[in-house]
A and B are shown apart, each in its own frame.
Chain A
Amino acid sequence: MAKKETLLTGAHFMNGDVACAEGAIAAGCRFFAGYPITPATEIAEHLSQRMPEIGGIYIQMEDEIGSIAAVIGASYTGLKAMTATSGPGFSLMQENIGLAVMTEAPCVIVDVMRGGPSTGQPTLPGQQDVMQAKWGSHGDYEIIALAPSSVQEMFDLTVEAFNLSETYRVPTILLVDEIVAHMWEKVVILSSEKIKIANRKKPNVPTEKYMPFMPDDNLVPPMACFGEGFSFHATGLTHDEHGYPQTQSSEVQQRLVNRLCDKIRKNADKIIRVEEVMLDDADMVVVAYGIVARAALSAVRKARAEGIKAGLLRLITLWPFPEKHVGKIAKQAKAIVVAEMNCGQLVREVERSAKETPVVFLSKLGEDPHTPIEILDAIRRNS
């Protein structure tokens, strides 16, 4: 396949990892640093071929710690940058995800979730890193995490992840289960003018007046990059608006950490995306994401055929958690069924948001996700 074009506009048959890589290119990503790991390796392999063709940088680092550190460096030098990994590598990246949060470095981290803990089941799917994505690094912070359910969404949500990351200067995580990453499906890539791209806001003050961490109205500071004539300092230490360390000031700590959380929390309505299927009159609601949401959709349709008023709330944004959407359906539902490929992670957030409405949890680990019949059974039992 000749792939000299930057954007492969047209219809393709490809796997999820490749669609993610092409989505990154479409979003303007020009720097990838990674380390081989199943089941995310195809993203690196594909970008090692594609990046040089379009003048971008691909580098294989010595480990995942180095990969995320290099990504942050490239981001601060003005390139849109990404890394891709799986659970073990994602664990290694956590400290520097905190650095990206603290220094507000836009970047995208793809975590193709295998079965864990530890080395676990490298070639099998899981949804076990959902809480790690939110809480993995130390300290209080907010990130954004998206969960694609199809190969088309691997492309679309990678673009979206870059847009959100650039808009809010926050690491954005694509949480993918192994099935979506390795599945082959049709992907339609639009022409460049039809793909919405967001870029970080640049400072519009004279260089000597630039304060690197002075936020705008949306709580996000405009970002200068190395080599642009702004002589600024950034640090993982608690810092003031000049970027200077303030390790003894409670006031600066409160102001900074609250802003880092608030820039996501207060913009949550703009960030969050869900898909609502047959929810208008639903009194039995299934909440699912990733590959499991596709089995859930099938189960909901079967339940409707049986006369049960079932609906699906498919979570596209996992973090910040769509608590308003869950709260709304909880008011009309007799019960909520949550299906996840873990021992109970996002279900805790659903329970918190659903208040009094009963929440039924369906766990599944190992090779196969939930079947539609398993989810249908849960709908029947609770309707």
Chain B
Amino acid sequence: MVEEMAHPLSKFLREAMMPHIWCSGCGNGIILNCFVQAIDDLQMNLDKLVVVSGIGCIGRAAGYTNVNSFHTTHGRPIAFATGVKLANPELDVVIVSGDGDLFAIGGNHFIHAARRNIGVKVICANNFNYGMTGGQQGPTTPLEALTTTTPYGNIEHPFNLVHLAAASGATFVARWTTLHARRLTQSIVKLLQKEGFCFIEVVTPCPEIFGRHNKMRTGLEMMEWFKKASVVEHFSDPAKAEITSEKIVVGEFVDIEKPSYERLLHEKIAQINKKAGELVREYAS
């Protein structure tokens, strides 16, 4: 008789929410695994961790993670998380969401949170399309790719997410694919410890929805593409890191020091109140 053993990371999952909604061959499980592995590696205080997500397949990750979690409206997890982080800067606030949620409908919140350097951490699952609604073209869909709304091939230029994040002011920017589980986990560990707005793009297979239209019907075929095309180039120019069928530049692109919005805000509040206190003393004397 085989004794049933709990997975060492299952304590981080809400078992009541299982089974998950993700398709076979989907990479979201790998991303969630790497994320909770990083939490475990850091022995984070789970009471202080808040996971926020928007709408989409990966958006269910917030509910699956057994910590404080919130599943917002489509495109708004970063704006919601901004309120959380500023209301209690002691909290570790992580956004796990998709490319459509964060960069199409939610693009405005992304660039402004990065510009302000709000200390929230964004992990983006990039599956090149809108998976949950059945595979429509999105802001990261490659040129000429077939989707349910680009039946003649996509004519829109996709965002280069790491370039966008770096140009918007993020203090940490990395890209990995789900093939790079170990390095992804290491980057998430860094992201969770770093001050300011941090971003990791995870290129993830979506064989059932995206792959089937683009000659990659299984997760394995998509992973083989990642294996063939990925080139690790740390601190290379993010402007030149466009994803093509031939080349996916992965690695850490940005790792800089810059005071976060919440640090500057609380310094300002302390400064103002010191001044206010001095004024009161002047009047009193």
Residues of A within 8 A of B (CB): 2, 4, 31, 33, 52-53, 55, 57, 59, 61-63, 65-67, 69-79, 81, 95-96, 98-99, 103, 226-237, 242, 244-245
Contacts and interface: CB of A to CB of B under 8 A. Distances in A.
Interface in B57-83: 62-63, 66-73, 75-76, 79-83
A274 B109 CA distance: 41
B189 interface: no
Contacts of B273: 52-53, 55
Interface stretch (B45-53, B225-233, B239-247): B45-53
Contacts of B81: 73
Nearest to A31: B87
B268 A52 contact: yes
Contacts of B268: 52
Interface string B76-120: 100111111111101100000000000000001100100000000
Contact of A226 (B68, B109, B112, B276): B68
Contact of B87 (A78, A99, A244): A78
Contacts of A55: 269, 273
Interface in B226-285: 265, 268-269, 272-273, 276, 279-280, 283
A170 B274 CA distance: 37
Contacts of B108: 62-63, 66
A229 B16 CA distance: 19
A128 to B, nearest CB: 25
B42 interface: no
A57 to B, nearest CB: 5
Contacts of A230: 68
A312 B15 CA distance: 59
Given A69-B73, A231-B46, A233-B71, A4 B279 contact: yes
B70 A76 contact: yes
B84 A244 contact: no
A33 B82 CA distance: 10
B79 A66 contact: yes
Contact of B14 (A70, A78, A233): A233
B167 interface: no
A65 B86 contact: no
Contacts of A236: 71-73
B47 A237 contact: no
A228 B283 CA distance: 41
Contacts of A103: 70
Contacts of B280: 4
Contact of A73 (B69, B83, B112): B83
A227 B48 contact: yes
The A interface is mostly helix, strand or loop, or mixed, namely mixed
A235 B66 contact: no
Of A226, A228, A234, the most chain B CB neighbours within 10 A belong to A226
B17 interface: yes
B60 to A, nearest CB: 8
A96 to B, nearest CB: 6
Nearest to A95: B73
A70 B79 contact: yes
Contacts of A71: 83
Nearest to A71: B83
A65 B47 contact: no
A2 B283 CA distance: 11
Contacts of B272: 52-53
B47 A231 contact: yes
A72 B77 CA distance: 11
Contacts of A4: 276, 279-280
13 contacts: A4-B276, A31-B83, A53-B272, A70-B79, A70-B80, A73-B52, A73-B82, A77-B50, A227-B90, A231-B66, A234-B70, A235-B63, A236-B73
A61 B82 contact: yes
Contact of B84 (A52, A66, A74, A229): A74
A65 B79 contact: yes
A227 B73 contact: no
Given A66-B108, A244-B17, A73 B276 contact: no
B203 to A, nearest CB: 27
Given A52-B269, A52-B272, A235 B83 contact: no
Given A76-B70, A229-B47, A234-B69, 7 more contacts: A31-B87, A79-B87, A95-B73, A96-B76, A226-B50, A233-B17, A244-B17
Nearest to A107: B83
Contacts of B72: 69, 72, 99, 236
B48 A72 contact: no
Of B71, B81, B108, B112, the most chain A CB neighbours within 10 A belong to B71
Contacts of B88: 77-78, 226-227
A98 to B, nearest CB: 8
A233 B70 contact: yes
A39 B269 CA distance: 28
A63 B109 CA distance: 9
B270 to A, nearest CB: 9
Contacts of B82: 33, 59, 61, 66, 69-70, 73
A315 B50 CA distance: 42
Given A55-B269, A231-B46, A77 B79 contact: no
Contacts of A53: 272-273, 276
B232 to A, nearest CB: 34
Given A52-B268, A66-B79, A76-B70, A226 B84 contact: yes
